[in-house]
Chains A and B, each alone.
Chain A
C-alpha cells in the first residue's frame, strides 16, 4: 500500500519479539493497521507512548530502523457487488490476478446485531444429504460445525452442502487451507458454474498462521454486506476453525498471556462467539448461515476448541465411516441440529419428526444388537432384522453421497420400516401409519401369511 502525504513515518523500533514490534508513536488508534517494512501489522497494545504491533507475517528480518507507517484505521474491506466470483487473501487483496475491488470501505469485525432485532430462524436449507436434511435439518441463520477427524472428507461434504443449498452467495473463509484443498474448492465451484456467486478469502498453509485471524472477519464483513444491504441469503463456510483457534493461542502466548485449559487463551469462548454469532436471520429477509469445520484430535470433543464451540453453535455434525457399508455417514447419534424443531413437520411433511425419531431409535436397537453379538450373546429375530435395517438405512439415507429431496427421504424411511418391521414395532402414531405405510408387501404381511400357512398345515 502506498504512503500518503500526511502520514508520519517512524523508524525507531524499541523492541522486537517473534510476533510483535514495539515503538514510540503518538496519536495511534487501538486495532489500527500499520505497515512495517512492507509487512502488515496491527496495534494490539498501547502502553503510555509505546505502541505494540502484532506483525501478521512474522518479524523475521525486521531491523530496528524499519520504516513503520500507520494507516490511521483498523482493517477494512471494500464491499460492492464486484466482490463476487473472486479469491482474496487474509487482507482482502485479490490473489486471482484480477484488479482490486472498488467499493465502500467497511471496517471488519463490526458491531453486534441487537438481539431484539433478530428474527427467529425459520427457513429450511435443503442439502439433499439425508443425514443432514432428515435427521439434522439446517435452518437459515443457523451456525453449525462439522466435528471431524482430519482424515474425513469434511471439505468435500461442505462444498457439496454449499452448492446444493439455495444460497444467493457462498462465502468461503479458508484458514490454513492446503494449496490442494484451495484448488479443490476452486475447481468444484468452477465446474458447478457457481463461481459468480462465490467469494473466497483464503489463508493457505504457505501464508503466516497469524494472518488467519483476519479471515473470518473478512468473510463475515462481506457476508453482512450481501445479507444486510442486498437482503440476500448468504452461506458462510469456515474451514478449519481449529487452526484459527491455534493462531489465537500463538498470539496470546507471544503476548505473555496466561493460558487457560489446553493452552488456549482465556478469551477463547468470546473470540469464537464473536464469529459464530454473526449468523443471523435479519427481519428484512437477508440471512447469514455459518457452516464451519472444527477438526478434532482423535475424536476428542472435550478439548477446549470443540467444547467451547459446542456451547456456542446450534448443534454439530459428525462424520463417521460405517464399516458395514464402507461409506462415510453422518452419525445420527452424535450429530444434532438444535434448530431443526423450527422447521421439521412445519416446513416439511407432517410425518418428518416421527420418521426421523423412529429410524434413529431402530438404528440404536441395531447398535445394541451389535454389542450383543460382539459379546457372544444370542440374537433374537428382532435383533437380526434391526441389523439388516441398519445396513440399508445407512446406505440409502445416512451416507453422504445420497442426494434426494426430503419427501423421498421420508418415503424411503417408510419403505424400510415396512420391509423389516411390524407396525407395532415401529410404533408411529396411528394417523400417520394409515396415511404413509406403503402398500407393497412388507414384513408384517409375510409374517401373517406364514402364520396362515402354518395354521392351514
Chain B
C-alpha cells in the first residue's frame, strides 16, 4: 500500500474539551486526531467541520493546552481492535486495557493495547486453498476460554476473494499472518487474527435480519413469564436510584442464555464497577460450571472519566458485541446507564452552541438512541448460521420522572420496557419491575407467540394475558379496599385481591440471592404458572374478610417454599401436597 500523507493542523481555540483546529488539508467527519502537548498525545475526534476549521472533542482533559499546538490527523475514525483475547478484559471507553496501565492514577495520553500481542493461540483452519471468501467468512478458529472464536476475513474487505494460502493447524500470535487471500486481479492480502473496525459504523456483513422470534431465557420470572425478551431483542430498564437496577443487571448477566456477556458501565459509580471487577471473576457460571468472567468483557468508563470517552464507550461495547455475533454466538449487551451517555451528548452539544432540544439535550437525541438500539438484533449470517445481540440498557430518569427526554426517546426505540417502581422497592418487593406498567412488544409478534406456544405450552400466551388481567383486577380492588375500608367491600373483593397477591409473591417476587429461587428455568416457570392459575380459578368460601388474609398467606407460604426447593424434589412435592390440602379447606365445588 502506498504511503498516505495525513492532514496536520494547529489548535486555534479551546473551550473545555472542545478544541477548534485549523487544518491544512482534507479531514473527514469523526476522524481521529492527536493533539501534541508537551510530549503527550491527546486523542480527539472530529465532530464538526467549518471551512478550514475542524471542531474536535478531546477524550482527555485539555488543561494546560495552548493555541498553535500541533495536531496530527490519522485518516481513520475511532476504531476498536477485534481479535481473540477480548474476553475477560476490562477496557475503558476507548478500548484501552485498564489492567495493563501503570500506576494508580490514569495518566493523560496513556493508551494501551487492546489485545495481548505476545499470546500464542492454537489456530485451526476451517477453509482450504482455493475456497471463495468474502468479508466475514470464517477462515479458521481458535479456542478462546473454551469457546470457538472464529477468525474472519476483515469486515472492511469488499467483494469476493479466493484463499491463496492458509496456515495449517499451529500456534500463532494475533499479529501473525494466518492466511493470504487474493482478489480477481490477483492482488494478495495477508490476513492476521486481528482487524479494526470504526465503532460508529454498524457491522453489516450478514444475509438478513429477520424479526426476532426466539425467547431469551433470563431465569427472572417477571421477565420470562410476563414480559419476555427475545434473542436479539431490545429492552430498557428505567428506575429511580435505589430501586434495584444493579442487582437486576447482575442477575441478567449471570443467568441469561447468552454465550457472551458484554457489560458497558457508562458513567456510573466507580465503586460499583469495582464490585463487578471483584465479583465477576468469583461468580460461577451456571451454564458452564467455570467462571462467568471467562465469557465476559467489561467496558468501564466511570462518571469521573472524560466525558467524550463516555460517549464512545457504548459504541465500543456494541462493536465488540457485533464482532462476536458474526461468529454465530448469542451476545447479551448490558449498558448502565444510557442516560449518562445521553448527558455526554448534551455536554458536547452545549459546547458547540447548538440550539437545544427538550431539557437542553441535542435535537437529534431520539434519532441517535434509535439508531443505536437498531444495532441489536437477530441475524442470519452469510453461511446460514445465526447470531444475535440482545441489548438491555438502563435509564436513570432525572427525579424518577419517566417523562424526561431520554426515557421517552428510549421508549420509542426499545421493544421491552421494564419499569422499576419505587413503591415496590420501598416495600421490598424485588425485583421491583412493575408488572402492569411494563410491557414486551414481542408478545404482539405472531412468530414469538407461535414460538412460545410451541416450545412452552399451547396455551402459554393466553395464560400470560389471564395473569395480567388478574394483576390489574387485583390492583383495582386493592385501591377500592383502601378507599372503602376492609369491611366496606364484599368478601369477593378480598379474594380477588389475594389471588393477585399470590401471583405477586410467587411469580413476580424472586430472591436474587437464593441459589434455587435466583434463577428459574422456563419449564419450572410453566409448572408454577399452571399451578397458580388453577388456584386463581378456584372458588373459595369465607365467612368474614378477616379470614382471607391468613388463609392466603398460608397458600403463599407453601408456594414460596416450593420456589425455594429443588424442582420436583421430595421437599417440593411435600409442600405441594400441603398446598392441595389447604386449597381443599375452602374450596367450593
B360 A259 Cβ-Cβ under 8 A:
yes
Would you call A192 an interface residue if the criterion is a C-beta within 8 Å of the partner chain's C-beta atoms?
no
Kindly state the separation between the CA atoms of A228 and B62 in the bound complex, as whole angstroms: 24
Check A302 against B399 for contact (C-beta < 8 Å).
Answer: yes
Q: A27-B66, A258-B360, A307-B399 are in contact. Are A277 and B303 (CB under 8 A)?
A: yes
* B260-297 interface code vs A (CB 8 A; 1 in, 0 out): 00000001011101110110000000000000000000
Chain A residues near B401: list those with CB within 8 A.
Answer: 302
Is the C-beta of B556 less than 8 angstroms from some C-beta in chain A? no
User: Which residues from chain B contact A115 at a C-beta distance below 8 Å?
Assistant: 90, 98, 270, 273-274, 277, 300, 302
Chain A residues in 8 Å Cβ range of B99: 116
Judging by beta carbons under 8 Å apart, are B66 and A117 in contact? no
Judged by a CB distance under 8 angstroms, whether A453 is at the interface is no
B514 to chain A, nearest CB (A): 15
Residue of A nearest to B67 (CB): A46
> B residues 424-476 with Cβ under 8 Å of A?
426
**Cα-based distance from A328 to B237 in the complex (angstroms):** 37
Give the docked Cα–Cα distance between A307 and B400 (Å).
9
Query: How far, in whole Å, are A142 and B108 apart by their CA atoms in the complex?
Result: 25
**Are A119's CB and B305's CB within 8 A?**
no
- Interface pair A113/B307, CB less than 8 Å apart: no
The residue from A113, A266, A310 contacting B346, defined by CB atoms under 8 A apart: A266
- A residues 265-319 touching B (CB-CB < 8 Å): 265-267, 269-270, 273-274, 277-280, 282-283, 301-304, 307-308, 310-312, 314
Q: A120-B274, A310-B241, A336-B242 are in contact. Are A47 and B13 (CB under 8 A)?
A: yes
Chain B, 340-372, CB within 8 A of any chain A CB: 340, 343-344, 346-347, 350, 353, 356, 359-361
Q: Does A30 contact B (CB under 8 A)?
A: yes
Q: Is the CB of A261 within 8 A of B13?
A: no
Cβ-neighbour of B271 out of A110, A304, A314 (below 8 A)? A314
Q: Quick check: B347 and A274 within 8 Å, CB to CB?
A: no
Shortest beta-carbon distance from B48 to chain A in Å: 15
Tell me if B398 counts as interface (CB < 8 A to partner A): yes
Tell me the smallest distance from the CB of A79 to a CB of chain B, in Å.
15
Any B CB within 8 A of the CB of A118: yes
Tell me whether A261 and B304 are in contact in the complex, defined as CB-CB below 8 angstroms, given that A141-B271, A280-B270 are known contacts. no
> Within the assembled complex, what's the spacing in Å between the Cα atoms of A29 and B61?
12
CB-CB contacts below 8 Å: A9-61 with B: 26-32, 45-49
Contacts A28-B66, A74-B63, A116-B277 given: A260-B104 contact, CB under 8 Å? no
- C-alpha gap A392/B464 in the complex (Å): 48
Is B242 in contact with A312, judged by CB distance below 8 angstroms?
no
Interface status of A121 (Cβ within 8 A of chain B):
yes
CA distance A352 to B336 in the complex (A): 31
Q: Which residues of A contact B107 (CB under 8 A)?
A: 111
Q: Is the CB of A29 within 8 A of B399?
A: no
Chain B residues with CB under 8 Å of A274's CB are 303-304
Knowing A49-B67, A260-B360, say if A266 contacts B350 (CB, 8 Å): yes
Question: Which of A111, A261, A314 gathers most chain B CB within 10 Å?
Answer: A111
Given the interface pairs A112-B304, A312-B303, the reply to whether A307 lies near B360 with Cβ below 8 Å is no
Bound-state CA distance A283–B62 (Å) is 29
Does B201 touch A at the CB level, under 8 Å?
no
Is A307's CB under 8 angstroms from B66's CB?
no
A114 close to chain B: CB less than 8 A: yes
Q: Kindly provide the distance from the CB of A183 to the nearest chain B CB, expressed in whole angstroms.
A: 34
Of the candidates A29, A110, A261, A267, which one forms a contact with B307 in the assembled complex, judged by CB atoms under 8 Å apart? A267
A355–B303 Cα gap in the complex (Å)? Answer: 35
| B residues in contact with A338, CB < 8 Å | 242
| 8 Å CB contact of B64 from A32, A117, A121, A312 | A32
CA distance A301 to B267 in the complex (A): 21
B12 within 8 Å of A (CB atoms): yes
| A141 to B270 CA separation, bound complex (whole angstroms) | 11
Is A257 among interface residues, defined by CB-CB distance under 8 A? yes
* B63 pairs with A46, CB closer than 8 A: no
Q: Does B230 sit at the interface, judged by CB under 8 A? A: no
Q: Are the CB atoms of B104 and A228 closer together than 8 Å?
A: yes
Report whether B12 and A48 are in contact in the complex, using a CB–CB cutoff of 8 Å. yes
Given contacts A47-B20, A279-B271, could you give 11 more A-B pairs where the C-beta distance is less than 8 Å? A30-B62, A31-B62, A48-B12, A111-B106, A114-B98, A115-B270, A267-B347, A274-B304, A278-B304, A280-B270, A307-B399
Binding site for B on A (CB under 8 A): 26-32, 45-49, 73-74, 107, 109-121, 141-142, 228, 257-261, 265-267, 269-270, 273-274, 277-280, 282-283, 301-304, 307-308, 310-312, 314, 333, 336, 338-339, 377
4 A-B pairs with the lowest CB-CB distances in the bound complex, closest first: A302-B399, A273-B303, A277-B304, A260-B360
Could you write out 11 A-B pairs with CB less than 8 Å apart? A32-B64, A45-B13, A47-B13, A111-B106, A115-B98, A115-B274, A116-B98, A265-B350, A267-B307, A277-B302, A312-B269
